Structure 1
Amino acid sequence: MAKPIVAVVGRPNVGKSTFFNKIAGKRIAIVEDQPGVTRDRIYTEVEWLNHKFTMIDTGGIEPESEEIIPAQMRRQAELAIETADVIVFMVDGRQGLISSDREIADMLRKSKKPVVLAVNKVDTKEQSPHYYDFYELGIGDPLEISSALGLNMGDLLDEIVKHFPEEGAEDYDEEVMKVAIIGKPNVGKSSIINKILGEDRVIVSDIAGTTRDAIDTPFTDGEDEYVFIDTAGIRRKSKITEHVERYSVIRSLAAIERADVCLLVVDAEEGITEQDKRIAGFSHESGKGLIIVINKWDLIEKETNTMNHFLKNIREELSFCEYAPVLFVSAVTGQRVMKVLEKIKFVSNQHAMRIPTGTLNEVVGEAMLLNQPPSDKGKRLKIFYATQASVRPPTFILFINDKELMHFSYQRYMENRIRENFGFEGTPIRFINREKAGGDK
């Protein structure tokens, strides 16, 4: 099941970023005593009572303001609301209820999403003098918290997870390859899909307006079943054109969570941007298969080694996902577009590949002979045994004598040896280091 998404919304300066940082356990959002300082939506992975979810922090909503930055922040918050499964509506317990809160409450009621009303900045055990005023919002029972001091945070998280969708059947059968088309607006995501679907393939149905506001297109190619999860609708929905690409991450979050394989579509003329890195990073962190598709390749003037130079730059900019294959295509001319489908099938199989334990341990043992494990203060790392715990992404458990001795560089070496022997092209690999009970330290 895809992880639920929780959006934290409210007018500026009610303490959303402080709350977000407290939950995340690290300082991620910028926190200042100036309204509207959190301009970019930030996300983090959260786990509470065995529930894993993605939390989105938004800039403050200023309903009546038409200045450029507040207008962008408002649109960003609206997108977060559209994407979320549960919304935390934060208000200020010191200042009390104001008109902006009422307007935001109206917006939230129209969304038909579950809303948890958090009254922040209640830093003592005494009830806020404004507590009962917040019932006017018609959102439900207010829950008083202090993000700064961490008061009642557990109660709030309990309330959030109560509203998560019940775990049940997936949207599609397991054999269906779920592919998220991600990237900035106007890079040609829809054009690539249309080109693929136009080649004598059977379109099963178009399912629009899902809860995640992506557009699902299931289709078959021979005996293979696919569904494209398209996030290209962002620009059509937005009236704001300035910096609209920043909002594409919000739309991408839910699509990536539902997918097995992600196609990161990049504009060849622009090259890899910071936004592309952010979106690729979320795919990587989520453990999804990844294919980098460089579109509009027909517009690039070619010289000797143009493609190699471009590929080198991609590997430098996206060094954390060197495993991802790169395709240079043109949705307009159709150049290499049909190779995309072949690569999706290949990466999907790699993402779900399982290695027999005996074969895996032969490779691990040989790797240790070729490059002796590191030692520290006379103690040397020992890897007793390895096994593959799961797929999508391939996850390996290494039983070792001491976790402190497993350096990042040696784990990377072990990953490279596994890739050399088994492939795993297009998929991240995860390692879990587990100290063997009674193992020789």
Structure 2
Amino acid sequence: MNKPIVAIVGRPNVGKSTLFNALAGQMISIVKDTPGVTRDRIYADIDWLNHQFTLIDTGGIEPDSSDIILSQMREQAQIAIDTADVIIFMTDVKQGLIDADAKVADMLRRSRKPVILVVNKVDNYNKMMADVFEFYNLGIGEPIAISAAQRSGLGDMLDKVTEHFASLKLEAEDDDRPRIAIVGKPNVGKSSIINKLTGESRVIVSNIAGTTRDAIDTDVKWNGREYVFIDTAGLRRKSKVKEEIEKYSIIRTVTAVERADVVVIVIDAIEGVTEQDAKIAGIAHENGKGVIIAVNKWDAIEKNDKTVYEYSNKVRQILSFMPYAEIMFISALTGQRLYKLFDMIDFVIENHSMRVETGILNEIMAEAVAMQQPPSDKGKRLKLFYITQVAVKPPTFVIFVNDKELMHFSYTRYIENKIREAFGFKGTPLRFIIRERKEK
């Protein structure tokens, strides 16, 4: 089951980011060693009354002049229409209804996507209701009055948003074909890889950064097995500003990664790993997906017998938060090692959904504890009672201990390494949940 994606669209200064932060609040996981991902905070995973969804703030890009505002809003609305399941269209009661709102409302209405009209900054419900009703004129349904800053009205809004989830056909449940997202910066050769694998030019490729038109799912058959490749689109329109291209490609990446089992991160061999690559890798890591790092354009690199080893080390250094990722060196141009990708995908999928018996896990843990004593604090020593695997995709383990505070990150990582030594789990992150249990 994929999480629905909800996007916030609206003019500058109507309070999109305030709403985003109010909803995401403390739920944004700042992963200490994942670079760049959460600092941009374009997306967050939200839980609301048993509903989970991914919230996207399209407003990371704020133009200065008014004539750009409409084109920007349209751009943001287009992104939301392309990627979101439900759209929150945000207006501001204090600025009232303006022309740009009406134009964007038309776009949203034509998209046939569910749109929730939200009127922000309603600090005094009774006094301002007449002004709120004015927004009925947009013709996209009943306006919901909120104040993001005071956090009022958010419950009603979320109820409206989640009402639409039931009718979403979120990927046929019985479709068990592996989904592979091909992600990476513009121009690293994502589309070329898919074209080569499918043997046809389905995806328009040209050499201008950010020209692939739209996210395309391509069905590929290899050795009798079917795969679905998700190509993360570039932009519909070429944007002049590098930050914009990056922001948009991050949003597209988030939506593709959400839907995938395995994420192939394509890196340009000539350029090497960049900060943007690290951000994209961070999204896959945070989402607990299987990961393959494909270094493309390998044919263009001068090599000696140490090149692969040195290059791998460099990649591992920069992407140090995902030591489990598998690295491959390929060339979409010459087809070098391209078809080995399928073997690697199968291998990672297997690890991503591997289950380990509880008995064996507890043996490994007992041995690990015997070899390296758990930490203690003020005379109290950490005790590990029991470990069991509770989920796959990614493999998730619960460890019962006497005191959660004593279970340092580093000791959890030590246990993880012992489990990996025994079972490999290559290409997949592992999750650990630490629970307290009173001693008998």
Q: What SS does structure 2 have at the residue aligned with 1:431? A: strand
Aligned to 1:222: 223
Shift of 1:319: 1.2
Shift of 1:395: 0.5
Which segment drifts farther, 330-339 or 421-430? 330-339
Alignment of 1:352-363 (within 5 A): 352-363=353-364
What CA distance in whole angstroms lies between the structure 2 residues aligned with 1:329 and 1:418?
30
Answer yes or no: is 1:4 the counterpart of 2:4.
yes
Question: Which digits, 9 at most, give the CA deviation of each residue in 1:166-194, with x for residues without a partner?
Answer: 47784364642111111122111121122
Report the identity percentage. 57
TM-score norm. by structure 2 comes to 0.88
What CA distance in whole angstroms lies between the structure 2 residues aligned with 1:316 and 1:169?
37
Answer yes or no: is 1:240 the counterpart of 2:234.
no
Alignment of 1:11-90 (within 5 A): 11-26=11-26, 42-59=42-59, 67=68, 71=71, 74-90=74-90
Instruction: Identify if the C-alpha distance between structure 1 residues 168 and 27 changes in structure 2 by more than 3 Å, giving closer, same or farther.
Output: closer
Aligned to 1:140: 141
Shift of 1:241: 4.5
Instruction: Identify if the C-alpha distance between structure 1 residues 90 and 333 changes in structure 2 by more than 3 Å, giving closer, same or farther.
Output: same
What CA distance in whole angstroms lies between the structure 2 residues aligned with 1:258 and 1:132?
38
Answer yes or no: is 1:348 the counterpart of 2:334.
no
Aligned to 1:178: 179
Instruction: Identify if the C-alpha distance between structure 1 residues 73 and 273 changes in structure 2 by more than 3 Å, giving closer, same or farther.
Output: farther
Answer yes or no: is 1:291 the counterpart of 2:292.
yes
Indicate if the aligned counterparts of 2:387 and 2:399 stay in contact, CA closer than 8 A: yes
Q: How many residues align?
A: 416
Alignment of 1:180-199 (within 5 A): 180-198=181-199
Alignment of 1:401-412 (within 5 A): 401-412=402-413
Shift of 1:380: 1.2
Instruction: Identify if the C-alpha distance between structure 1 residues 287 and 166 changes in structure 2 by more than 3 Å, giving closer, same or farther.
Output: farther
Shift of 1:93: 1.2
Q: What SS does structure 2 have at the residue aligned with 1:126? A: helix
Answer yes or no: is 1:364 the counterpart of 2:374.
no
Which segment drifts farther, 276-285 or 359-368? 276-285
What CA distance in whole angstroms lies between the structure 2 residues aligned with 1:338 and 1:72?
41
Question: Which digits, 9 at most, give the CA deviation of each residue in 1:338-381, with x for residues without a partner?
Answer: 11111001000000111011111111110111111111122111
Shift of 1:266: 1.1
What CA distance in whole angstroms lies between the structure 2 residues aligned with 1:51 and 1:96?
32
Instruction: Identify if the C-alpha distance between structure 1 residues 381 and 168 changes in structure 2 by more than 3 Å, giving closer, same or farther.
Output: farther
What CA distance in whole angstroms lies between the structure 1 residues aligned with 2:27 and 2:260?
29
Aligned to 1:96: 96
Q: What SS does structure 1 have at the residue aligned with 2:426? A: coil
Aligned to 2:418: 417
Aligned to 2:340: 339
Q: What SS does structure 1 have at the residue aligned with 2:125? A: coil
Aligned to 2:155: 154
Question: Which digits, 9 at most, give the CA deviation of each residue in 1:242-266, with x for residues without a partner?
Answer: 4224311222222211111111111
Instruction: Identify if the C-alpha distance between structure 1 residues 174 and 225 changes in structure 2 by more than 3 Å, giving closer, same or farther.
Output: same
Aligned to 2:117: 117
- The residue identity in structure 1 corresponding to 2:139 is G
Shift of 1:274: 2.3
Indicate if the aligned counterparts of 1:321 and 1:428 stay in contact, CA closer than 8 A: yes
RMSD: 2.6
Unaligned stretches of 5+ residues in structure 1: 29-39, 200-204, 207-212
What CA distance in whole angstroms lies between the structure 2 residues aligned with 1:172 and 1:277?
32
Which segment drifts farther, 118-127 or 135-144? 118-127
Indicate if the aligned counterparts of 1:62 and 1:74 stay in contact, CA closer than 8 A: no
Q: What SS does structure 1 have at the residue aligned with 2:186? A: coil
- The residue identity in structure 1 corresponding to 2:2 is A
Instruction: Identify if the C-alpha distance between structure 1 residues 72 and 100 changes in structure 2 by more than 3 Å, giving closer, same or farther.
Output: closer
TM-score norm. by structure 1 comes to 0.88
Indicate if the aligned counterparts of 2:218 and 2:228 stay in contact, CA closer than 8 A: yes
Q: What SS does structure 2 have at the residue aligned with 1:321? A: coil
Instruction: Identify if the C-alpha distance between structure 1 residues 41 and 430 changes in structure 2 by more than 3 Å, giving closer, same or farther.
Output: closer
What CA distance in whole angstroms lies between the structure 2 residues aligned with 1:168 and 1:73?
27
Shift of 1:158: 1.2
Shift of 1:126: 2.5
What CA distance in whole angstroms lies between the structure 1 residues aligned with 2:322 and 2:159?
35
Answer yes or no: is 1:325 the counterpart of 2:322.
no
Structure 1 runs of 4+ with >3 Å offset: 60-67, 69-74, 165-170, 172-175
What CA distance in whole angstroms lies between the structure 1 residues aligned with 2:327 and 2:169?
35
- The residue identity in structure 1 corresponding to 2:237 is S
What CA distance in whole angstroms lies between the structure 2 residues aligned with 1:354 and 1:109?
46
Instruction: Identify if the C-alpha distance between structure 1 residues 2 and 63 changes in structure 2 by more than 3 Å, giving closer, same or farther.
Output: farther
Indicate if the aligned counterparts of 2:27 and 2:46 stay in contact, CA closer than 8 A: no
Unaligned stretches of 5+ residues in structure 2: 29-39, 204-213
Q: What SS does structure 1 have at the residue aligned with 2:321? A: helix
Instruction: Identify if the C-alpha distance between structure 1 residues 41 and 87 changes in structure 2 by more than 3 Å, giving closer, same or farther.
Output: farther
